[in-house]
Chains A and B, each alone.
Chain A
Amino acid sequence: MIPDWLTQDCSSVPMPASLDRGRSGFVEKTINNAARFLRDTMVSETIACRNGLLQAIDPRIKLITLLVVIISVSILRSPIVIWGIYGLTLLLAVASSISLLFFLKRVWLFIPLFSAFIVIPALFNVVTPGEPLLTVFHLAQGYDFGPYHIPGTITITGQGVLTAVTFIGRVSTSVSLAVLLTLTTQWSNLLQALRVLKVPRIFILILGMTYRYIILLVHTVYDIHVARKSRTLHYGSTVSEQRWVASRMSYLLKKTYLISLDVHKAMLSRGYSGDIRTLTIFRTRGYDYAWCLFVIFVCAFSLVIDRTMVPR
């Protein structure tokens, strides 16, 4: 039997003035970030499936060679050579069908965060003494704190700028190489490639499953949010929003636990006995050897030029 109120026109019900018109704020942002994570994941997988220079290389060879380049960059001293290799990463991105703007955004969003705070003090004569380029301010006098000396005039030094440029060059080139590796390799292949570094099979399996189920759970979080949003006329108070988030976190934790139990059953059902066996099918071709030679040449050439430009 349908109650009377269910047959009435809902548009006639006025909005109560007492309703708290709180905003979603934190929750909305978190969920939007979750959605962005899903979108980025999809974009990364799409790029990895494109036809491009780096996509065509055996993931094992790609992992090892890019690692070698990162190590080489870390021992280079000349900022010109380091930035030259950075330029090469941009060319590699273009040759791998990656939009340059997308690639630059990926790399440079992280670099200020990680390196700026470290490198800013190195600009000043307090940390890196040298030829003053720009006077920032004057103190009444110099100060000494044990072995540390603070000069009376704080300046940005030429040596400080060189140190900063070299440091940022190293970080940006290394991050670019890592981003190139992850963008041009399917996550599953990248995990399998870790076997060449002798990472245990079980560890690779767990990493793969973690990635798989994180995405599934992020989907669940998004679905929960959308389901609630579709029934939300007014956001509640901050306290009620916090309670809701806490209750969903607890639900998700329980769900994660139940999924892990079920997945274990599904593994047992198909013969898993604690000793994992996996299939790795990678084929090394002439193209991969050519890439190896190219990387060896670039690294050797850079080291020679570097030592010529900045002798010990």
Chain B
Amino acid sequence: MKKPIYELSTVSFRYLAAIPALENINLLIYPGESLSILGSNGSGKSTLLHILDGLIFPSSGVIKAFSETLTEEKLETDSFRHLFRSRVGFVFQNPDIQLFCPKVYDEIAFGPLQLGLPTGEVMKRVDDVLEMLGISSLKDRTPNQLSGGEKKRVAIASVLSLNPQVLLLDEPTSSLDLRTRHWLIGLIGELRKAGKTIITTTHDISLIERISSRVLVLDEDHTLAADRSPGEIIADHGLLHRANIIHEHETDTFVYPRKLDNIAPAKKIVNFPMTTVNKID
């Protein structure tokens, strides 16, 4: 039996110590899982991802990552921070937040450089990821010269260059045109095949069966309403209606597009050599 990557025990989070965002979440996430977190606006999906990335910490309850309790103090120790940051990558919903370097090339190199990888290895990773995502022509551009879809690709590239084992994607398909959305779904499929653990937040129910094998539903009261397979979640209209994911008029007519037609596959996934720090036991 594999050890879980994440263990959340009665985790709650309140903004400004008053506004509830998550209530009493119990959760185990295993290596190689593809997990979608489904919920309406304000249900706490993004907050949960921020907690999983060690950017904010539970108001109560305990979160363990890689068998270690994840706390602010723990992440201040060099060894654990290095281990954790090299294993977990977070693609933010708004790419403008994530693209803070002057050029695309610098952006993709930022993560590996902070991990102290040798320059040659950093440059190889950057070149490989640029090629894999088909954005080599953008490498000398500034973020201000990119379209929305290009920004999303660069944001994903900037995280993939870390070769994380766990990929956290916050509303990855929001504001994307149809072609980029299909490209992204194809890429997530390739990353799943490569054995990455992928945790995605979305309120787009048409996405979940394409990208995940397990779905969590967050209720509007910020509790975990369900933890099942995508097929079971899609079939449970009552649950989806209660969690404000579909409208009452949609429950009778909702048809899920099960065929993955015309999805442009991502180019071959580059497997960077696993360093001792980001190899999972």
Would A270 and B162 count as touching, CB distance under 8 A? yes
> B140 contacts the other chain (Cβ, under 8 Å)?
yes
Would A263 and B106 count as touching, CB distance under 8 A? no
How far, in Å, is B113 (CB) from chain A's closest CB? 4
| Residue from A41, A42, A45, A266 within 8 A of B98 (CB atoms) | A266
Contact residues of B: prevailing secondary structure: helix
Contact A278 B53, CB 8 Å, known A186-B140, A212-B100, A270-B158: no
Would A266 and B97 count as touching, CB distance under 8 A? yes
Report the stretch among B79-87, B201-209, B252-260 that lies at the interface: B79-87
How many residues on the A side are at the interface (Cβ–Cβ under 8 A)?
A: 33
Would B55 and A216 count as touching, CB distance under 8 A? no
Find residues 138-158 in chain B having any chain A CB closer than 8 Å to their own CB: 140, 142-145, 158
Report the stretch among B5-13, B37-45, B115-123 that lies at the interface: B115-123
Would B103 and A186 count as touching, CB distance under 8 A? yes
A-B contact count (CB 8 A): 95
Contact A45 B78, CB 8 Å, known A188-B106, A279-B122: no
| Residue from A45, A259, A279 within 8 A of B142 (CB atoms) | A45
- Which A residue's beta carbon lies closest to that of B107? A270
| Residue from B98, B111, B123, B140 within 8 A of A271 (CB atoms) | B111
Would A277 and B116 count as touching, CB distance under 8 A? yes
Would B114 and A277 count as touching, CB distance under 8 A? yes
Would A271 and B85 count as touching, CB distance under 8 A? yes
- Which A residue's beta carbon lies closest to that of B97? A262
> B109 contacts the other chain (Cβ, under 8 Å)?
yes
Task: Specify which chain A residues have a CB less than 8 angstroms from the CB of B116 in the assembled complex.
Answer: 277
Task: Specify which chain B residues have a CB less than 8 angstroms from the CB of A269 in the assembled complex.
Answer: 53, 55, 85, 88-90, 92
- Which A residue's beta carbon lies closest to that of B103? A188
A270 to B89 CA separation, bound complex (whole angstroms): 7
Would A262 and B92 count as touching, CB distance under 8 A? yes
Would A263 and B140 count as touching, CB distance under 8 A? no
Contact A191 B102, CB 8 Å, known A270-B162, A279-B122: yes
> A133 contacts the other chain (Cβ, under 8 Å)?
no
How far, in Å, is B94 (CB) from chain A's closest CB? 7
Would A268 and B162 count as touching, CB distance under 8 A? no
Would B103 and A268 count as touching, CB distance under 8 A? no
Task: Specify which chain A residues have a CB less than 8 angstroms from the CB of B109 in the assembled complex.
Answer: 279
| Residue from A41, A219, A263, A273 within 8 A of B100 (CB atoms) | A263
Task: Specify which chain B residues have a CB less than 8 angstroms from the CB of A271 in the assembled complex.
Answer: 81-82, 85-86, 111, 114-115, 162
A278 to B143 CA separation, bound complex (whole angstroms): 17
A269 to B88 CA separation, bound complex (whole angstroms): 8
> A265 contacts the other chain (Cβ, under 8 Å)?
yes
Task: Specify which chain B residues have a CB less than 8 angstroms from the CB of A213 in the assembled complex.
Answer: 100
> B272 contacts the other chain (Cβ, under 8 Å)?
no
Task: Specify which chain B residues have a CB less than 8 angstroms from the CB of A187 in the assembled complex.
Answer: 102, 142
Task: Specify which chain A residues have a CB less than 8 angstroms from the CB of B111 in the assembled complex.
Answer: 270-271
Please, could you name 19 A-B residue pairs with CB atoms under 8 Å apart, sorted by A?
A42-B145, A45-B142, A191-B102, A209-B100, A209-B101, A212-B101, A212-B144, A219-B144, A263-B97, A265-B97, A266-B90, A266-B92, A268-B85, A269-B88, A269-B92, A270-B158, A271-B85, A272-B110, A279-B123
Chain A positions within 8 Å of B, measured between CB atoms, are 41-42, 45, 49, 186-188, 191, 208-209, 211-213, 215-216, 219, 259, 262-263, 265-273, 276-279, 281
Nearest 3 A/B pairs, CB to CB: A188-B102, A271-B114, A270-B111
